[in-house]
Structure 1
Amino acid sequence: MITRIFNSFLLVFFSLIVFACSEDDQEIIDPTDDVTGGPETPEPSNPEAIDLSSYDNGSRVMMQAFYWDVEPRFEWWNNLSAKVPGWADAGIDRIWLPVASKGQSGGYSMGYDVSDYYDFGNFEQHGTVETRFGSRTELENLISTAHDNDVEVIADIVINHNSGGGLQYNPYREYDTYTLFDEEHGNASGMFNRTYEDFYPNSVSEYDPGSLFYAETNLDHHLDRVQKWLWKDENSVAKYYKNVMGFDGWRFDYVKGFEPWVIKEWLDEVGGFSVGENFDGNPDVLRDWIEASGSPAFDFSTFYKLEESLDRFQDLTNLEKDMLWKTDPGNAVTFTANHDTEKDDNVDNYIASENKLKAYAYILTHPGYPTIFYSDYENESFQEELKTLISIHNSIAVGDTEMLYIDEDEYVMKRSGTGTNPGLILYISINNNTKRRTVSSNWNNVTLKDYSGNTSYSPTSDENGMVQIEAPSNGYAIYSITK
């Protein structure tokens, strides 16, 4: 009797062990919470990939062609000129340059302390002739090289705060301010000379509460004279940059510092691609600004949701929340890093290096106009994978977007494709195990392939389009059809 009871106990004990092991296997290979079900399908040995270059969807990618405090100084324009042909071959159609004119910090300036809008490295002031990036001739050569490679050049425009002027008495403030910009004081070009009358406050306008810094030298856009110099006159900043220098569009810096009608009037006058830096994670704020300005905006709402999902909270369900691209993809310029987020070890405005490629996989498969950050692309451990993602973006990242599954550590999204373009399925996992999940595809009885190259798994869909896909440990996969 004791023996029989002991044997029964052993049987139950070993059954529990087997059941537990089976549950673990299912979590890794075929999760029990698989909401779509479906049998696991056999894997063909080596399915032949489709030629992605034959599926040009017309979409391209922008390159932010700088980082904070670029090196070597005085050689940046030449450095970019050498890289542009390779970027164009990879699928880049625009390069966003740093502020190209002379700043108060001279040869050390990144341009955001703008002094002389018309000094591109050809006037002696602030201790240097060349800007940090090089000479005007080298800039003109870069723009020409880009155009020869069908790449547009985007100028970074700072049109609220100025720096580097001379000291003068300011009767509106009743003390001396650095508001004198003439040929001897920070404006050697002699164009757009300014005095305290051109900045807030003055006899025409009250102090602009939108200016959070450089308050004493914040340009007053309500003045007709300032409007003429910035965008209306034939030699205005906008028209000079477009017609003389050859810039094709605009990245408007710090748009919280001035009213959106300024950008609307600028674009009505000169046109061109544009994007505004409205540093705000609230998608409603971005939508309101887009409507008022008539310009696309950097999609900070998506940036922050990626940062929260991959870094801060490590919870992919944050990707269910509202983002600009979900309602207005044509005006959403998406990104995973820029010169500000990568500066000074930002904690709350930063996606860690180990999560960057998952973030890029997201923005390069979803709607919106993606931007690649220079330092990421030129990172040798990232570059080939980014080239692959750009190729996928420019070819099969097309059609309606449908989220197929989401939980804390898994995210599956489908692009439906259009016409003969098959579309894709993105599978992101932040789990430490290899994951598999059965989802609904658009493809019946078709063998799939992971075009990211992160897995060798090649499942076949069933007659109803159900297919079991795989994501590598803490990584992503992008599936589409094979030949």
Structure 2
Amino acid sequence: MKTKLLYFFVTSFLILSSCSNNDDSSTTLPEPTTPEAGEVTPLDLTKYESGNNVMMQTFYWDVEPRGDWWDILSEKVASWADAGVDRLWLPVATKGQSGGYSMGYDPSDYFDFGEYEQHGTTETRFGSRTELENLIKKAHENNLEVIADIVINHNSGGGEEYNPYRDKNTYTLFDETHGNASGLFNRNYENFYPNSTSNYDEGSLFYAEQNLDHNQDYVQNWLWKQDNSVAKYYKNTMGFDGWRFDYVLGYEPWVVKAWLDEVGGFSVAELWDGNPVVLKKYIEETGSNVFDFSTFYKLEEALDRYEDLTYLDKEMLWQTYPEKAVTFTANHDTEKDSNEDNFIMAENKLIAYAYILTHPGYPTIFYSDYENEAFQEEIKQLITIHNSLAIGETEILYVDADEYIMKRKGTSENPGLIIYINTSDTTKRRTVKSNWINSTLIDYSLNSTYAPYAKEDGEVNLEAPGKGYAVWSTTTPQE
């Protein structure tokens, strides 16, 4: 149904203006060129598609209550689908050494989804296997893919055994009575670095003694090659549709490529590196998507560290590989990290979401942000904008320390958008060249009630609130 909003045109404001030299000495914003005051009809965004939706990261670090998480997520699946989500990234679904307290990144039994009594519990932190299967089924019923978090750099929780290659005891024995109750993919010291066929894996930065040797046929067979391998069991038996590869700095790119060549599916790699050249090289070596840490850090620098939006005019992965860049503003690691340069402050989160949800790339929404009542409606509106109008080539129309204006040029059938970010304390306006002519514009983010008019040459005077943003596009012509 087409929705109508009433926009009142304002003739003058006694607030600070934006000038080309960023001099805020003026006290009056320029009067906009607008049609006669009255009713304007927003576009029906349900009639437009950008060809891209968003992924939901469905957890945060140390989720509570323990044992109920799969059921909690099941209750949210339908509403997430309605909001425009098309994939769910689940936490590591199998038993870790920490048992009922484990977030899964200390993997012990790759086939225990909450059905074997070991490490002090039967269920995982997130619930039982049956509850997980119900969640996956419900996601599929709502046309959502389910992404498995895959941790194959290291293992944890095995039994102690003498390791001749280290000349000491190591916790590298995994069998039915030592951290691998399923009996599938049993391991011992020969399957970890170093061993009789491999020296140390220099790429591993932690869990060195339990760092899997992916060069071995035995390990490859159990991880992705044979019919009951981890990859094929997760896909064919459990119903997972794709993969999030944890800590790929710890093993070679060919491992991810081999996995994908064998089983396919959507994938995204956690290559924690802010250099877009490094991320680009990994994409080309593996064929996998990667989390766009280059954009994450540019947002952190622009909004927090240096408070300078010109950092958004730097090189980022989405510029060269938009179809492979999985953008984000937060995840379970950044939010628990004590390093202030590894997270975006709460007061800037919505601006960061406005950026990734209007720019190219595949955005990821962080559970804790979406479920924050102060953020949810605004993020939902941005998802709607992303899924409908965020299409076409990008062009930065203006950028300085506290203003950033970017245009998505749209297509012949889609008008695209212009995002205006303003990190100063006051409302600003700036005249730019749009692709729209003889058209009233409105802010689809609902942060501004200003309704400027794009003249026959496309020139238009746009507005953004202080410490905020606006997302502009055209309206339906009045009959």
Question: d(CA) in 2 for partners of 1:343 and 1:177?
Answer: 30
Amino acid in structure 1 at the alignment position of 2:230: V
Contact 2:15 2:427 in 1 (8 A): no
User: Which residues in structure 2 correspond to 1:340-379 (within 5 Å)?
Assistant: 340-379=333-372
* Alignment pair present for 1:31 and 2:19: yes
Please tell me whether the aligned partners of residues 28 and 436 of structure 1 are also in contact (alpha carbons under 8 angstroms). Answer: no
Provide the residue aligned with 1:206 in structure 2: 199
Query: Which range moved further: 114-123 or 337-346?
Result: 337-346
- Asked whether the equivalents of residues 337 and 343 of structure 2 are also in contact (C-alpha less than 8 Å), the reply is no
Number of the residue aligned with 1:226: 219
Say which of 117, 133, 151 aligns to 1:124. 117
Displacement of 1:160: 1.1
Question: Which amino acid counterpart does residue 31 of structure 1 have in structure 2?
Answer: C
> Deviation at 1:34?
8.4
**Using the alignment, how far apart are the partners of 2:337 and 2:319 within structure 1?**
31
CA contact (8 A) 1:66 1:339 kept: yes
Is residue 88 of structure 1 aligned with residue 88 of structure 2? no
Compared with structure 1, are the counterparts of its residues 26 and 292 closer, same or farther at alpha carbon in structure 2 (3 Å cutoff)? farther
Q: Which residue of 1 aligns with 2:461?
A: 468
- Contact 2:395–2:406 (CA under 8 A) maintained in structure 1: yes
Partner of 1:71: 64
Q: Deviations over 1:57-79 (max 9, x none)?
A: 22100000000000010000000
Indicate whether 1:445 and 2:444 are aligned: no
Count of aligned residue pairs for this structure pair:
458
Counterpart for residue 18 of structure 1: none
| CA distances 1:128-151 after superposition (whole Å, capped 9, x unpaired) | 000000000000000000000000
Residue equivalent to 1:337: 330
**In the TM superposition, what whole-angstrom CA distance separates every residue of 1:226-266 from its partner, at most 9, and x where no partner exists?**
00000000000000000000000000000000000000000
- In the other structure, the counterpart of 1:19 is none
Q: Distance in 2 between matches of 1:420 and 1:287?
A: 31
Choose between structure 1 and 2: higher helix proportion.
1
Alpha-carbon separation, structure 2, partners of 1:67 and 1:371: 13
| Corresponding residue number in structure 1 for 2:33 | 41
Amino acid at match of 2:237: V
TM-score, normalisation: structure 2: 0.94
Matched residue, 2:248 = 255
CA distance, structure 1, for counterparts of residue 21 and residue 394 of structure 2: 23
Task: Give the Cα separation in 2 of the matches to 1:478 and 1:57.
Answer: 15
Give, in angstroms, the shift of residue 26 of structure 1.
9.8
Counterpart of 1:185 in structure 2 is 178
C-alpha spacing 1:366/1:407, structure 2 compared with 1 (3 Å)? same
1:368 and 1:344 map into 2 onto residues whose CA distance is 25
The Cα of 1:42 is off from its aligned counterpart by 2.9
1:85-140 C-alpha deviation (Å, 9 max, x unpaired):
00000000000000000000000000000000000000000000000000000000
Structure 2 counterpart of 1:287: 280
- After TM superposition, give the deviation of residue 40 of structure 1 in Å: 3.3
1:319 matched to 2:308? The reply is: no
Aligned to 2:6: none
Report the Cα distance in structure 2 between the residues aligned to 1:46 and 1:87, rounded to whole angstroms: 32
Task: State the Cα RMSD in Å.
Answer: 1.5
Equivalent residues in 2 for 1:129-144, closer than 5 Å:
129-144=122-137
Contact 1:183 1:189 in 2 (8 A): yes
CA distance in 2, matches of 1:34, 1:104: 56
1:149 corresponds to which of 132, 138, 142: 142
Q: Distance in 2 between matches of 1:321 and 1:57?
A: 25
The whole-number CA distance in structure 1 between the counterparts of 2:160 and 2:401 is 57
- Is residue 26–residue 32 contact of structure 1 (8 Å, CA) maintained in 2? no
Q: Quick one: distance in 2 between partners of 1:125 and 1:411?
A: 54
1:302 aligns with 2:295: yes
Q: Does 1:426 align with 2:391?
A: no
Identity fraction in percent: 69
d(CA) in 1 for partners of 2:189, 2:143: 42
Q: Secondary structure at the match of 1:418?
A: coil
Verify the 8 A CA contact 1:34 1:438 in the aligned structure 2.
Answer: no
What letter corresponds to residue 97 of structure 1 in structure 2?
L
Per-residue deviation at 1:344?
Answer: 4.2
Following superposition, the deviation at residue 31 of structure 1 comes to 1.9
**Counterpart for residue 102 of structure 2:** 109
Bigger CA radius of gyration: 1
Tell me the secondary structure at the aligned position of residue 437 of structure 1: strand
1:398 aligns with 2:408: no
- AA at the equivalent of 1:260: P
Shift of 1:32: 4.7
